[in-house]
Amino acid sequence: MNAKARRRVERLYQGKKYGVGLLFMLPWIIGFCLFVAIPIGWSLFMTFNKVQVSVGGFKYEWIGMRNYRDAFLKDNVFPIELITYFQEMLLMVPIIVIFALLISLMLNQKFPGRFIYRALFFLPVIFATGQVLSELFLQGAGDIPFLEQYNLLPIVEEYVGAQFAGTVMDILGKAVLILWYSGVQILIFIAGFQTISPTIYEAVRIDGASPWDSFWKITLPACVPFISLNVLYTIIDLFTFPLNPVLAHVRDNMFKVDTGYGYASALAWIYFAFIFVLIALVLWLFNRSLKTRRAHS
Amino acid sequence: MLLRKLRKITAFQAVLTSCLTALAVFMSLPIIFIINHAFKPQNELFLFPPRFFVQSPTFRNFESLILHASNATVPFTRYLFNSIIIAVLTLGCVILVSTMAGYVLAKYRFHFKGLIMSMITLSLMFAPETVGIPRYLIISGIGINDTYFGHILPALASPVAVFMLVGFISQIPSELLEAAKIDGASHLGIFARIVLPLSVPAVATISILTFQGVWGDVETSTLFMQEETMRTLAFYVNSLLSGLQNSVAGQNMAAAAGLLMFLPNLIIFLLFQKRVLETMVHSGIK
């Protein structure tokens, strides 16, 4: 076989492989385009329009950036809710991640019945679908009664100042929720701990390091990528949380006559942009810390 | 034997176990609450402060729920039938479509692969509420309003399922697939005989997640279905709850309906849980 023929056969083989790959992808791609990609694009288009429901369907009227301007200048609920929610989230994310880290450290120890505990901590994630959660909150099972009983608010106010006291109290009230929302993070951490080889711990122990030292010097640095993964996951998880007040506001605006779907989409896109910036920031920070560590070692 | 085992437990382990037990009990409180709540008789539902455990359990709540439903224009069983058939069909289709996509994304090279992967991660972040109306327009454009397709097709292209499967399937050694190829297996043969059986744990996980999504979904029923007979149990329970929220008489039905919506999730989870935890640890993602 000469070189030319061989190349042709090779190309045919590669082409066939590409074709097979795309063929397997095809059903998913069609579904994705129809029900995810096109709707998302469409909603972006709608943000620049005033969308009105009329008899024959939807009526679009191009208004450029006005929806976005209205969101910040005319709407007196949206910016406040956005800021409050972000404040809450900035506190919640570290709490959830640190809590998950502690629990997973405990679960990583050897003790009888470990598997059952792992399953128990993961269980809530499976149930934490919107309906069950909102039902629980409606019936008040998510609250902790001692907050009101012991009148903690003045104490909290004294320590963190009046403007943050409300947020802190909110978070304390959501303690159950924090527990419920850390299942996946705990598993990610446990999986991460398995990547550290036990011989390192042994070597450090022989050199005379206490478990405390080996946590700070070995476990924590090795976990940085998993911490960043968990932070991202938590942000996304909280962001699409069904009881989220910002999304509730978006939903309310969807079917109002004077604001309409275009405006609601614009709100959602602003929200999306904020989250995106936050995620980019987190990624950048973690990448930088990884790089400096590598430069040091 | 038992004594020797007990003696092996150190003080540290004892403290650890008791700490974790306390936390675990604290976490399972809401679940216990839901179950107990559904069996409380009317007078216990309104006790203040509310109690966790039911004193004299009854089935009255379920009876009145079913009676209430049978008085309506569409019988309760119709909603149940719709929900079950939709859940089963969606589950089957999602598993097939996403394992196929996950397989080639993990093991093949083709055009636009990078684009597809980044689209998947991006769409994970997007809140589903905002695409409701464009989806409605597309669904009515193809003309699948008021059919089971309208329920099933939107759930079909699930980014989460593919995202998880790609991670899992890429851990299957390529040598195995090559060996099968040398032995003369076709692409479809490799997929059906090797990849599918090996990814059962991941498939179990996405089954649970998909089942939950479909079982609790009210969006397709509210937006795409105009016929009452095509709507699902979740929609029925939801409208029942929102209609009864402020009435005293409805509270017992709401409690029973809450348990009814929650129970299938629990059963599915118990069926698959061991395999799920395996996958979670392997792929490290929900």
| Alpha carbon distance B243, B250 (integer Å) | 9
Nearest to A68 by CA among A249, A267, A260: A267
Do A15 and A120 belong to one domain?
no
The answer to whether residue A149 neighbours chain B at the CB level (below 8 Å) is no
Query: What is the structure's pLDDT at A139?
Result: 54
Alpha helices in chain A (DSSP H): 3-32, 38-46, 66-73, 78-108, 114-127, 130-138, 146-149, 153-160, 162-173, 175-180, 183-193, 198-206, 211-214, 220-222, 224-239, 245-254, 260-296
A222 is a domain residue: yes
| Alpha carbon distance A67, B48 (integer Å) | 47
Query: What is the structure's pLDDT at B260?
Result: 78
Query: For residue A209, is pLDDT > 70?
Result: yes
Do A29 and A111 belong to one domain?
no
User: Looking at the 3D structure of chain A, how many domains does it have?
Assistant: 2
Q: What is the dihedral of CA A269, A271, A275, A281, to 10 degrees?
A: 90
The answer to whether residue A27 neighbours chain B at the CB level (below 8 Å) is yes
| A44-61 mean pLDDT | 75
Do A211 and A77 belong to one domain?
yes
Residue B248 token pair: 């005293």
Do A250 and A282 belong to one domain?
yes
Do A46 and A115 belong to one domain?
no
Query: For residue A147, is pLDDT > 60?
Result: no
Query: What is the structure's pLDDT at B50?
Result: 61
**Residue numbers in A near B154 (CB within 8 A):** 35
Q: What's chain A's length in residues?
A: 297
Q: Which residue type, as a one-letter code, is found at position A194? A: Q
Superfamily the domain B62-283 falls into:
MetI-like (1.10.3720.10)
Residue A82 — pLDDT band, cuts 50, 70, 90?
Answer: confident
Cβ of A123 and B31 within 8 Å?
yes
Specify the higher pLDDT residue, A155 or A293.
A293
Specify the higher pLDDT residue, A120 or A273.
A273
In degrees and rounded to multiples of 5, residue A59 shows phi and psi of -115, 125
Cβ of A119 and B127 within 8 Å?
no
Chain A residue with CA closest to B268: the answer is A126
**Residue numbers in B near A279 (CB within 8 A):** 125
Interface test mutation site (partner A, options B130, B224, B266, max chain A beta carbons within 10 A)? B130
Do A220 and A286 belong to one domain?
yes
The answer to whether residue A78 neighbours chain B at the CB level (below 8 Å) is no
A241 is a domain residue: yes
Q: Compute CA A291 distance to the chain's CA centroid, rounded to the nearest angstrom.
A: 24
Cβ of A18 and B110 within 8 Å?
yes
A169 is a domain residue: no
Do A199 and A85 belong to one domain?
yes
Would you give the DSSP letter of residue B126?
S
Query: What is the structure's pLDDT at A169?
Result: 65
The answer to whether residue A284 neighbours chain B at the CB level (below 8 Å) is no
Chain A residue with CA closest to B277: the answer is A119
**CATH value at residue A241:** 1.10.3720.10
Residue A173 — pLDDT band, cuts 50, 70, 90?
Answer: low
Residue appearing with tokens 């193809």: B142
Single residue among A41, A66, A91 that ends a domain in this structure: A66
The answer to whether residue A129 neighbours chain B at the CB level (below 8 Å) is yes
**Residue numbers in B near A234 (CB within 8 A):** none
Do A84 and A62 belong to one domain?
no
Do A60 and A72 belong to one domain?
no
Single residue among A28, A49, A66 that ends a domain in this structure: A66
| Contact of A154 with A169, CB cutoff 8 Å | no
Would you give the DSSP letter of residue B229?
G
Query: What is the structure's pLDDT at B220?
Result: 80
Give the domain range for residue A248.
68-128+181-296
Query: What is the structure's pLDDT at A132?
Result: 56
What's the CA angle centered on B226, arms B224 and B228, to 5 degrees? 120
Cβ of B131 and A275 within 8 Å?
no
Tell whether ipTM is more than 0.90.
no
Do A198 and A279 belong to one domain?
yes
Number of A/B CB contacts below 8 angstroms equals: 235
Query: For residue A273, is pLDDT > 70?
Result: yes
Single residue among A66, A81, A103 that ends a domain in this structure: A66
Cβ of A136 and B33 within 8 Å?
yes
Chain B residue with CA closest to A113: the answer is B17
Specify the higher pLDDT residue, A104 or A76.
A104
Query: For residue A189, is pLDDT > 50?
Result: yes
A176 is a domain residue: no
Give the pLDDT confidence of A104-143 residue by residue, as tens digits.
888 887 777 777 777 777 766 666 555 555 555 555 544 5
- Provide the b/e sequence for B101-131 (b: ≥16 CB within 10 Å): bbbbbbbbebeebeebeebbeebebbbbbbb
- Lowest mean pLDDT segment, chosen from A107-116, A151-160, A262-271, B255-264: A151-160
List, for chain B, all residue ranges whose pLDDT scores fall below the cut of 70: 1-9, 30, 45-52, 69-72, 125, 127-130, 241-251, 273-286
DSSP assignment string, A190-226: HHHHTTS-HHHHHHHHHTT--HHHHIIIIIHHHTHHH
Angstroms from B119 CA to nearest CA on chain A = 8
Could you say which of A40, A264, A265 has the minimum Cβ distance to residue B123? A40
In degrees and rounded to multiples of 5, residue A49 shows phi and psi of -125, 160
Do A58 and A93 belong to one domain?
no
Cβ of B125 and A113 within 8 Å?
no
Do A27 and A113 belong to one domain?
no
| Alpha carbon distance A124, A181 (integer Å) | 8
The answer to whether residue A159 neighbours chain B at the CB level (below 8 Å) is no
A136 is a domain residue: no
Query: What is the structure's pLDDT at B141?
Result: 83
Nearest to B140 by CA among B230, B79, B232, B223: B223
Query: What is the structure's pLDDT at B94?
Result: 92
State what percent of residues in chain A have pLDDT above 90: 0
Angstroms from A162 CA to nearest CA on chain B = 30
Would you give the DSSP letter of residue A10?
H
Query: What is the structure's pLDDT at B123?
Result: 76
Interface test mutation site (partner A, options B1, B2, B5, B20, max chain A beta carbons within 10 A)? B20
Query: What is the structure's pLDDT at A156?
Result: 58
